[in-house]
Structure 1
Amino acid sequence: MSIPDHARANFQTLLRAAADGTLALMECADVATGEARYVICAVGRDDGDYVFTPFGHLAERNPFEAYRLAGSST
């Protein structure tokens, strides 16, 4: 399975933000449940205002139990 271009572009944006020191971890509310989520965001500026671009949230439980590699049966 190939990683789609939009995911690669988002990952490159995250790498640039990390190198520039413009990443933030923000507490946000999940729209569907209202539960707290801890979201990784890139921070930018637009006419002097801060702009936060969310990329994903941290796993709520052990990520080794939550994910498996594509194509893996375990």
Structure 2
Amino acid sequence: MAIPDHARANFQTLLRAARDGNLALLECADAVTSAPRYVICAVGRDGADFTMTPFGHLADADPYDAYLPPLEPPATSPST
């Protein structure tokens, strides 16, 4: 499974923000449930104002329970 270009670009932006010290952790409310979420944001400037670009939220529980490893591609049989 290939990682899409937009995800790679967002990851590079996140790395750049981390390298430059422009990351913030904000407490926000989930748009559907209103539960609190702790959101990782890149911080930018727009004149005297700050802009926060959300990239994702921290896992509420054990993140190992939330994800599965990528699937292995099916083995190909040699052609005869």
Using the size of structure 1 for normalisation, the TM-score is 0.93
Alignment RMSD: 0.9
Distance in 1 (CA, whole Å) between partners of 2:17 and 2:51 is 13
Q: Structure 1 regions of 5+ residues with no counterpart? A: none
- Give the count of matched residue pairs: 72
> Which structure's residues are more often helix, by fraction?
1
Q: Which runs of 4+ in 1 moved over 2 A?
A: none
Q: Structure 2 regions of 5+ residues with no counterpart? A: 73-80
Please list the CA deviations of residues 5-62 of structure 1 after superposition, one character each: whole Å capped at 9, or x if unmatched.
0000000000000000000000000111100000000000012100000000001110
- Residue 33 of structure 2 corresponds to 33
Residue identity over aligned pairs, in percent, reads 67
Using the size of structure 2 for normalisation, the TM-score is 0.86
